């Protein structure tokens, strides 16, 4: 039986968030689509970070690594190669076209940037749509940026008209009751009919080792990929911790070595600084309290627990993390604090005040990793004769997840 072929693309300039989100989707699609459609799944994860293959992909999936890009105040630039940016984009575009032409996917999901870096993906998507049966989806986290910045980004990729020409649906990985990016002005109103709200990609993330690197009770600080997390980690390493509690600081695999070594020099008794852990969700669930930056994936993992959480959002480059933290705090799911006003004493006082507490997050819509395979099956049904019908959501729930 012909398998369903899926491509998940992320451009990956800073951090690991785009790649980690697509990896969670790959596991969910691989596990659930065969039961929904009666067909096996095979797929390719396209990424721009060389760290990606260290993360296990599902059986039947493989990685394609693009030459990396980074960010500067002037925009994107080659991360490692000494060549003009235009030439790098041209090379990435040719690679993308070759992958899609050779693999002939039935479903392409593009993470966050509709046409990639400097529209590198546009030609490949147009060709795929012209020569084969393919469904193309734009996957968006629930917060993009301030309305002005988001509007400028939509304009740079060609605006709503291009999005409507290239994409069949837009999946927003969040709950509009917490933050509605259309009402906030982050997604053009004219695209609303393409939107399906999935809920947060929280519950059901792939399990890890299920073991802890801490010998006893602990609190946890995590700063995502770590490339911009040193300021929060330095406050954390100096914060007083309640007696009998250890402090695990996960600095992230992208934190520069000199910054990681600085943290380790500052760490006192009971404070453990590591660049990464085998199973971050396990460590989050078993922590007494969590302090974190506001990246989408880490926040989703926190939301699937009852652990008290303080979010200290990134304040440079984008407003995304601040908007996310404020929205979730307004819903009562966590707390937030600006890095400019956070001191070791405030940090330690928050930890002491939250010990033994539990946060009820049951009202949050956290089942995006179940909803996404259902949406994919519905989109792909016209391309295949399904083995059985796709389970439908309750009509009221389904209506609440479609932007009108």
Q: What is the pLDDT of residues 166-214, one digit of tens each?
A: 999 999 999 999 999 999 999 999 999 999 999 999 998 887 788 899 9
Q: CATH homologous superfamily for 4-202+366-400? A: Glycogen Phosphorylase B; (3.40.50.2000)
Distance CA 396, CA 221 (A): 38
Model confidence at 402, pLDDT cuts 50, 70, 90, reads low
Average pLDDT on 110-138 reads: 96
User: Residue 265 CB: number of other CB atoms within 10 A?
Assistant: 9
Average pLDDT on 146-169 reads: 96
Q: Are 372 and 198 in contact (CB under 8 A)?
A: yes
Q: Where along the chain do the CATH 3.40.50.2000 domains lie? A: 4-202+366-400, 218-354
Whether the predicted pLDDT of 386 surpasses 50: no
Given this model, what pLDDT does residue 316 score? 79
Q: Are 108 and 7 in contact (CB under 8 A)?
A: yes
The token pair that represents 54 in the structure block: 């260290």
Given this model, what pLDDT does residue 395 score? 46
Q: Are 263 and 233 in contact (CB under 8 A)?
A: yes
Given this model, what pLDDT does residue 119 score? 96
Whether the predicted pLDDT of 76 surpasses 50: yes
Q: Are 136 and 129 in contact (CB under 8 A)?
A: yes
Beta strands 169-173 and 195-197: pairing type?
A: parallel
User: Residue 54 CB: number of other CB atoms within 10 A?
Assistant: 9
What CATH number labels 218-354?
3.40.50.2000
Sequential DSSP letters for 8-34? EE----SSSHHHHHHHHHHHHHHHHHH
Given this model, what pLDDT does residue 74 score? 82
pTM: 0.93
Given this model, what pLDDT does residue 15 score? 80
Distance CA 45, CA 64 (A): 6
Alpha-helix residue ranges (DSSP H) falling in 58-205: 85-103, 122-131, 147-156, 159-166
Given this model, what pLDDT does residue 404 score? 43
3-state secondary structure of 261: helix
Residue-wise pLDDT for 201-224, tens only, equals 999 888 778 889 999 999 999 999
Whether the predicted pLDDT of 389 surpasses 90: no
Average pLDDT on 292-317 reads: 94
Average pLDDT on 75-96 reads: 96
Percentage of the chain lying above the pLDDT 70 cut: 95
Whether the predicted pLDDT of 399 surpasses 80: no
Distance of alpha carbon 204 from the chain centroid: 14
């Amino acid at each position: 039986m012909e398998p369903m072929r899926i491509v998940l693309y992320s451009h990956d300039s800073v951090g690991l968030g785009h790649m980690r989100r697509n990896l969670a989707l790959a596991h969910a699609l691989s596990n659930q689509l065969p039961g929904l459609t009666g067909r096996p799944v095979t797929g390719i994860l396209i990424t721009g970070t060389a760290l990606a293959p260290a993360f296990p992909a599902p059986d039947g999936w493989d990685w394609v690594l693009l030459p990396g890009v980074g960010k500067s105040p002037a925009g994107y630039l080659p991360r490692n190669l000494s060549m003009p940016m235009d030439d790098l984009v041209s090379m990435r575009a040719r690679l993308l076209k070759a992958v899609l032409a050779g693999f002939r996917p039935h479903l392409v999901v593009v993470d966050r940037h509709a046409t990639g870096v400097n529209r590198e993906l546009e030609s490949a998507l147009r060709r795929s749509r012209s020569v084969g049966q393919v469904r193309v989806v734009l996957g968006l986290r629930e917060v993009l940026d301030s309305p002005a910045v988001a509007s400028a980004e939509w304009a740079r990729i060609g605006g709503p008209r291009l999005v409507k020409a290239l994409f069949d649906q837009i999946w927003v990985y969040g709950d509009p009751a917490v933050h509605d990016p259309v009402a906030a002005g982050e997604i053009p109103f004219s695209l609303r009919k393409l939107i399906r709200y999935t809920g947060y990609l929280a519950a059901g993330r792939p399990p890890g080792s299920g073991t802890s690197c801490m010998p006893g009770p602990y609190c946890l600080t995590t700063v995502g990929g770590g490339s911009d997390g040193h300021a929060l980690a330095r406050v954390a390493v100096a914060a007083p911790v309640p007696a009998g509690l250890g402090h695990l600081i996960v600095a992230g695999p992208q934190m520069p070595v000199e910054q990681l070594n600085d943290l380790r020099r500052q760490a006192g008794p009971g404070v453990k600084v590591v660049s990464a852990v085998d199973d971050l969700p396990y460590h989050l669930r078993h922590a007494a309290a969590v302090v974190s930056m506001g990246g989408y994936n880490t926040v989703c993992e926190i939301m699937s627990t009852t652990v008290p959480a303080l979010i200290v959002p990134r304040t440079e480059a984008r407003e995304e993390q601040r908007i996310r933290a404020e929205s979730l705090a307004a819903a009562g799911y966590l707390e937030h604090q600006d890095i400019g006003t956070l001191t070791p004493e405030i940090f330690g006082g928050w930890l002491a005040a939250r010990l033994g507490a539990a946060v009820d997050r049951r009202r949050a819509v956290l089942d995006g990793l179940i909803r996404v395979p259902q949406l994919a099956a519905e989109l792909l049904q016209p391309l295949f004769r399904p083995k059985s019908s796709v389970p439908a959501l309750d009509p009221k729930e389904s209506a609440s997840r479609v932007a009108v």
